[in-house]
Amino acid sequence: MKPTIIHEEDSRISAGLFDRLDPADQRLFERARSEQPELQAECVGLEKLGEELRGALREEARRAALTLEQREAVMAATQELVPDVKVRERGGLWRFLGLLLERPTVSFACAAALMAMLIFALKDEVIQPAAQEENQPEWKVTVEQAAPILDEMVAAPGDQEKLEGREIFSVTEAPLAEQSAADSMEVMNNESSVLSMNSVTSDFAATPRVAELKPSGSRVGGAAGLGATGAMKADVARTQAAQSSSPRTVAPPAPMSTPVNPSQSVSAGKSKREFSDMNFRGEVTYGSSIAPTSSGNEDYVAPAENPFRSVADEPLSTFSIDVDTASYTNLRRILNQGQRPPPEAVRIEEMLNYFDYAYPSPQGSEPFALHLEAARCPWNAEHQLLRVGIQGRRVGTEQRPPLNLVFLIDVSGSMSDDNKLPLVKKSLALLVRELKPTDRVALVTYAGRSRLALPSTSAREREVILAALENLESGGSTNGEGGIRQAYEVAREHLNKKGINRVILATDGDFNVGVSDREELVRLIQDEARSGVFLNVFGFGMGNLKDATLEQLANKGNGVYGYIDSFQEARKVFVNQINSTLVTIAKDVKIQIEFNPALVGAYRLIGYENRMLNKEDFNDDRKDAGEVGAGHSVTALYELVPAGREHGSGVDPLKYQRSLRTPPTRLSEAAGSGEWLTLKLRYKEPNGSRSQLIQTALRQGQREWRQSSDSFRFAAAVAGFGLLLKESPYRGSSSPELVRQLAGSALEHDPEGYRREFLRLVETAQNLR
Amino acid sequence: MGTSEQTTSEWLQQHIQQHEARLVHYAWSILGDLEAARDVAQDTFLRLCRQDPASVGDPPSAWLYRVCRNRALDLYRQRKHRPQEHESVLDELPALEADPAEQSGMRERHEAVLGALRTLNEKEQEVVRLKFLHDKSYQEIADITGLKTGNVGFILHSSLKKLRRKLAGQEVAASEQRAA
């Protein structure tokens, strides 16, 4: 154990008490707190101070209020609604013009910026003089209402300097400007006018003081124009930088009428802070919630989306498979609560893999069957959509090896909600009823400390197991680590070398108390997985879910991470798919696709961002990858750009090279075969250490998506929905209507009703907009 | 936007009522002048009414705080100077209702805490207020103020340390006085 001394000046103390730490820091903090009495005393003091500050400030705020007249004016304004965004924007410009005329002292820069705005406005013919009559009365009213303050606020340019030396930190106009920029860019709805406006106004935007000089009363109009200029300049610059530093990526096609920063998708190593900035920008652009990343106390971490990659530069796409489905059930829960899920909670591969696409089973001895299908991409008619389907061997209950299961159940106080411990009990009872007489079950619970609630018991004594489950009660704090150690011990005592040995963790994700670093925990789980005890993790409930932590734990433990939001979901996982859940047919399953540059110019893997591997990893048997359970299928979608069209969407033609594409002389004979690509899959037997290879190629004519198979269209619907929820810059012309059309045409194979449920969920999401 | 039955007017009214006291107070903490703070808050709400709800977000808190802050700072800059000492809102404002703090004798302690708070610089005060009055997360504070999230954490922690030292010093002084 490393010494964990947190110094009292360490700002992580306050963050731990009053905000959120990342899970590793949180654990360090909790451990330091339990080991350092002086830190504990410090925390108590700080918490007391926090309470006092809350009380005093609330008391102070309780008396701050508008005057009666002010409140009446505001309430009257809530009734005067503005019908349409675009109309209001025009009103903003005219208001700005009006103020300019009223106040000739406003500087030249403003006038110049106004001219620039007029140029673009007239060019686009969006702003018509008729709008003036429509809107003038409205602004007159509001200016009068705000009169006392506007008088004071009209800019006196010289005042800026007087601020210097004050401790007020820099004024952040940026969010407001960006927001207005988004609005005004909506007004001009084609890309060419964006570019031309940028070139017209760049001279003015280069004057740093321009943005400061606007009369504040005109911000809605004036700042919109200036902000748009600045924001676009920044975007263009960033895009150029991104493209020059990373020539392998092709910028995403900007969807019509919505400005998207193409560089969003390019950077692989963005920090979380940068990510939330982008996200913030995206959310404002599409007009939904502003709050960027937090959703209650739930943690989500999202890597940047995969960009388009040029086949000439990177013909190989390599990733580890993922059969998790937690993201979909979690999204379903959030949507059904009437909320929009945070974009970071959307993992498209987990949405895709929630559904059954009825792929044919493998023939012969191989554990996998590979299925490839392509058709025109529903959200981008220029592109093709490729579906990679991998079907694992199905195993019936009779062939299932004996099970040695240890349920590790979180019974801490936070688990008392109906959708937590009570649902865990019901879910595991379902599972127990599916067991064969040769199977065994033990029960370890943890709260403040861990407890063996039921020693390993044969499934013949089902009633004993069910009674022990029924007796579980919640209460106390959480010590996840102690529980995990004990669960592994029990599993090892009854290790069945020919059977399946599993720890099944059921928790709301709160590993807060007492766990030493995450690394140590991960190492423990990995060691146990190597010795044959795998870990399955099931998240229950909400509000406290540490999504990323749970997924990581399950991955390291060679197990599956699932999220159980309802009894219905428990039935799916523990009854209908119990063999997929518990029987691993292969481990370290990796996929590599080689694209043929004669037919495919660029490609983008949709989802699987945290599963990407280097091309060398594919043949490296030491490299850990995903596991597949019996009957599991894995689905991945690629958006393909046909050869020769990959550089239309953002990369300039090169000055010194004829073409970025591979010259024909470098192509092999196979390139002329008419094959689009070759799919290769490597796997190991569950206890094996050498990998096996299976491969197949796709040769197919062009096909409209309407001609594709039902299950292809359904997969496209799921991905399209994911792109919308993620607010992805790659969503093209995806829309709820398109998603419904795709899914609605693919309902024939729906034995369990999951596809129909998906369709309802799309409608739910649509009603939230 | 809210529940489907709610009209935009109702939605606006709900959020204005919810944020009224806090925004006035927030602007006041920047401007040190209640009347101006009220004007800023009123202006912010009027802007909210004029804004397309889709560009504001639901709930509109983040937008309201940002606009309010920018308005208050604009106004602050227009003024040549600002009163060096904040008057206490507790003295300046009539109580809206019966004063529970008075009854429980906590007002003295509140005054001490607020007094100590006012000795911090503006940046520190703002971060502390956003955290403990407005219940904002570090990320939200960063979004409102333009500071980096890590910096918010640092400022908050050092502010709390300073406050504790100040308040501890006062307690010692008070007990010495009593002893004398």
pLDDT tens figures, A480-506: 667 888 899 999 999 998 899 999 998
Mean pLDDT, residues A9-16: 86
User: pLDDT digits over A687-702, tens only?
Assistant: 788 999 999 999 887 8
Identify the residue with better confidence: A658 or A418: A418
- Residues in chain A within 8 Å Cβ distance of B20: 65-66, 71
Among chain B residues, the shortest Cα distance to A138 is held by: B50
pLDDT at A26 over 80: yes
Q: In 3-state terms, chain B is what percent helix, strand and coil (to 5)? A: 75, 0, 25
Give the residue-averaged pLDDT of A315-334. Answer: 87
Distance CA(A696)–CA(A678), nearest Å, equals 6
A704 three-state secondary structure: coil
pLDDT at A716: 97
- The pLDDT assigned to A728 comes to 93
Q: Which of A86-90, A261-265, A737-741, B20-24 has the highest mean pLDDT?
A: A737-741
Which of the pair, A389 or B65, is modelled with greater confidence?
A389
Bridge partner list, A700: none
Mean pLDDT value across residues A755-766: 92
Evaluate the CA torsion angle B167, B169, B170, B172 in order and state its sign. positive
Q: Say whether residue B180 is in contact with chain A using an 8 A CB cutoff.
A: no
- If one counts every other C-beta atom within 10 angstroms of the C-beta of residue A189, the result is 15
Three-class SS state of A30: helix
Rounded Cα distance between A709 and A632, Å, is 20
Does the beta-carbon distance from B157 to A176 stay under 8 Å?
Answer: no
Confidence of residue A215 (pLDDT cuts 50, 70, 90): very low
Mutate to test the interface with A, among B17, B25, B109 (most CBs of A within 10 A): B25
Q: Which residues of A touch B15 (CB under 8 A)?
A: none
Chain A interface includes B65 (CB < 8 A): no
Cis peptide before B59 (omega within 30 of 0): yes
For residue A176, give the nearest of B66, B113, B131 by CB distance.
Answer: B66
Distance CA B82, CA A659 (A): 64
- The answer to whether the CB of B37 falls within 8 A of the CB of B93 is no
A538 forms bridges with which residues in the sheet? A506, A562
- Please report the DSSP string for A512-539 in residue order: -SS---HHHHHHHHHHHHHTTEEEEEEE
pLDDT at A233 over 90: no
Answer yes or no: do B132 and A50 touch at CB < 8 A: yes
Would you state the pLDDT for residue A299? Answer: 63
B130 touches chain A (CB under 8 A): no
Q: What is the mean pLDDT of chain A?
A: 71
Tokens 């399209």 — which residue?
A720
Pairwise CA distance, residues A218 & B72, whole Å? 16
Structure tokens at A630: 């019996």
Q: Extract the tokens encoding A23.
A: 């899970």
The pLDDT of residue B156 is 93
State the DSSP code for A221: I
What is the residue extent of each domain of chain B? 1-84, 101-180
Residue contact A64–B89, C-beta within 8 A = yes
Per-residue confidence (pLDDT) for residue A589, from 0 to 100:
92
Q: Which of B111, B112, B145 is nearest to B26 (CA)?
A: B145
Chain A residue numbers touching B21 (CB-CB < 8 A): 61-65
* Chain A nearest-CA residue for B137: A19
What per-residue confidence (pLDDT) applies to A119? Answer: 47
Count the neighbouring beta carbons within 10 Å of the beta carbon of residue A519: 11
Would you say B165 and A46 are in contact if contact means Cβ atoms under 8 Å apart?
no
pLDDT in tens, A571-593: 888 888 888 888 888 888 999 99
The per-residue pLDDT for range A99-112, each reduced to its tens digit, is 334 343 334 444 44
The reply to whether residue A273 touches residue B149, judged by beta carbons under 8 angstroms, is yes
Q: Assess whether pLDDT exceeds 90 at residue A319.
A: yes
* CA–CA dist A767, B5 (Å, integer): 12
How many residues does the structure list for chain B?
A: 180
Averaged over A15-19, what is the pLDDT?
87
CA distance B177 to chain A (A): 23
- Greater confidence (A223 vs A49) lies with A49
Query: Whose CA is closest to A264, among A733, A726, A608?
Result: A726
Lowest-confidence region among A215-229, A435-449, A649-663, B35-49: A215-229
Residues of A whose CB is below 8 A from B79: 152
| Chain-chain contact of A55 with B106 (C-beta, under 8 angstroms) | yes
Per-residue pLDDT at A479: 63
| Structure tokens given for A240 | 């150029």
**CA of A13: which chain B residue's CA is closest?**
B157
Residue A476 has pLDDT above 70, yes or no: no
Helices (H), A452-530: 462-470, 480-493, 518-530
Task: Assign A169 a pLDDT band (cuts: 50, 70, 90).
Answer: very low
Cβ A173–B121 below 8 Å, yes or no? no
> How, if at all, do strands A533-540 and A633-642 pair?
unpaired
Interchain contact B103–A (C-beta under 8 A): no
Q: Are strands A584-595 and A316-320 parallel, antiparallel or unpaired?
A: antiparallel
**A19, A148, A149 member nearest B137 (Cβ):** A19
- The larger pLDDT score, comparing residue A180 to residue A406, is at A406
- For residue A493 the two structure tokens come to 């005592």
Pairwise pLDDT comparison (A294 vs A142), residue with the higher score: A294
pLDDT for A481 equals 66
Is B145 an interface residue toward A (CB < 8 Å)? Answer: yes
Task: Give me the mean pLDDT over the A712-739 stretch.
Answer: 95
Whether residue A74 and residue B37 make contact (CB cut-off 8 A), yes or no, is no
> Using a CB-CB distance cutoff of 8 angstroms, which residues of chain A are in contact with residue B93?
63-64
CA distance A765 to A334: 10
Interface contact A78-B113, CB threshold 8 A: no
Mean pLDDT by 10 residues, chain B (180 residues): 62 82 82 84 88 79 87 77 48 42 61 85 88 86 85 91 86 68
Q: Say how many C-beta atoms besides its own lie within 10 A of residue A347's C-beta.
A: 29
Cα–Cα dist A282/A730, whole Å = 12
Q: Answer whether residue A344 shows pLDDT above 50.
A: yes
Contacts of A6 in chain B (CB under 8 A): none
Lowest mean pLDDT among A298-307, A354-363, B43-52: A298-307
Compare CB distances from A57 to B111, B132, B150 and report the shortest one's residue.
Answer: B132
User: Nearest Cβ partner of A78 from B12, B60, B144?
Assistant: B12
Residue A276 has pLDDT above 80, yes or no: no
Q: Specify the pLDDT at position A272.
A: 33
A673: left (phi over 0), alpha (psi -120 to 50) or beta: alpha
Give the pLDDT of residue B84. Answer: 44
**Max avg pLDDT among A53-57, A226-230, A357-361:** A357-361
Q: What is the pLDDT of residue A672?
A: 80
Q: What are the chain B neighbours of A177 within 8 Å (beta carbons)? A: none
- Tell if the CB–CB gap between A280 and B143 is shorter than 8 Å: yes
Q: Find, among A619, A566, A760, A172, the residue nearest to B145 by Cα.
A: A172
In the numeric block, the tokens 């860019």 are attached to A185
Look at residue A363 and give its three-state secondary structure.
coil
Distance from the Cα of A66 to chain B's closest Cα (Å) equals 5
∠ Cα A404 A407 A413 (to 5°):
170
CA of A325, closest CA in chain B: separation in Å?
29
Cα–chain center distance at B158:
19
Q: Which of A152, A716, A669 is nearest to B77 (CA)?
A: A152
**Residues B101-180, CATH architecture:** Orthogonal Bundle (1.10)
- Could you tell me where the DSSP H helices lie in A517-606? 518-530, 547-556, 567-571, 578-582
* Chain A CB within 8 Å of residue B58 CB: yes
Residues of chain B found within 8 Å of residue A87, distances taken between Cβ atoms: none
Contact between A176 and B62 using a beta-carbon 8 Å cutoff: no
Show residues of chain B in contact with A167, CB under 8 Å.
121-123
Name which of A14, A88, A146 is nearest B157 (Cβ-Cβ): A14
Q: How far apart are CA B13 and CA A95, in angstroms?
A: 26
Type of residue numbered A431 = L
Cα distance from A297 to chain B (closest Cα, Å)? 11
Distance CA B116, CA A327 (A): 47
Question: What confidence category does residue A511 fall into, taking pLDDT thresholds of 50, 70 and 90?
Answer: low
pLDDT digit string, tens, across residues A587-620: 889 999 999 998 999 999 999 988 888 988 898 8
Label the pairing between strands A440-446 and A561-564.
unpaired
| pLDDT given for residue A491 in this prediction | 94
Q: Which residues of chain A does B138 touch, with a Cβ-Cβ cutoff of 8 Å? A: 15, 19-20
**Nearest chain B alpha carbon to A12:** B153
Is B6 near chain A, with CB under 8 Å?
Answer: no
Burial of A690 (0-12, 13-18, 19+ CB in 10 A): exposed
Q: How far apart are CA A428 and CA A663, in angstroms?
A: 60
| Residue A574 per-residue DSSP state | I
Q: Do A294 and B70 touch (CB under 8 A)?
A: no
Span B78-111, pLDDT tens digits:
774 544 445 444 444 444 334 444 444 566 777 7
Query: What mean pLDDT is reported for chain B?
Result: 77
DSSP string across A41-79: HHHHHHHHHHHHHHHHHHHHHHT----HHHHHHHHHHHH
Q: What integer pLDDT is reported at residue A105 of this predicted model?
A: 39
Q: Is the pLDDT of residue A434 over 70?
A: yes
CB of A640 within 8 A of CB of A603?
Answer: yes
Contact check, Cβ <8 Å, A63/B76 = no
* Chain-chain contact of B40 with A149 (C-beta, under 8 angstroms): yes
Phi/psi-derived region of residue A289, left when phi > 0, alpha when psi is between -120 and 50, beta in every other case:
beta
pLDDT over threshold 80, residue A660? no
As a whole-number percent, the residues of chain A with pLDDT over 90 amount to 26
Contact list, A159 vs chain B (CB under 8 Å): 77-78
> Identity (one letter) of the amino acid at B77?
R
Phi first, then psi: give them for residue A112, nearest 5 degrees. Answer: -65, -45
What does each C-alpha distance from B127 to A112, A132, A557, B153 come to in angstroms?
Answer: 38, 42, 42, 9
Q: Which two tokens stand for residue A198?
A: 């940028």
Chain A partners within 8 Å of B154 (Cβ): 11
**DSSP letter string over B12-56?**
HHHHHHHHHHHHHHHHHHHHS-HHHHHHHHHHHHHHHHHS-GGGT
**B52, B75, B158: residue with CB nearest A88:** B52
- Which residues in chain A are contacts of B117 at CB distance < 8 A? 53, 56
Question: What is the chain A residue with the closest CA to B144?
Answer: A172
Task: Provide the angle, in degrees to the nearest 10, between the axes of the packed helices B122-132 and B149-179.
Answer: 90
* Cα dihedral across residues A604, A605, A606, A607: positive or negative: negative
Residues 6+ apart with CB under 8 A from A367: A392, A393, A585, A586, A628, A683
Closest-CA distance, A166 to chain B, in angstroms, reads: 9
Distance CA A521, CA A503 (A): 14
Q: Which residue of B has its CA nearest to A221?
A: B51
Facing B146 at nearest CB: one of A71, A74, A170: A170
**pLDDT of amino acid A501:** 93
Q: How far is A689 from chain B (nearest CA, A)?
A: 44
H-state helical runs in A388-442: 421-433
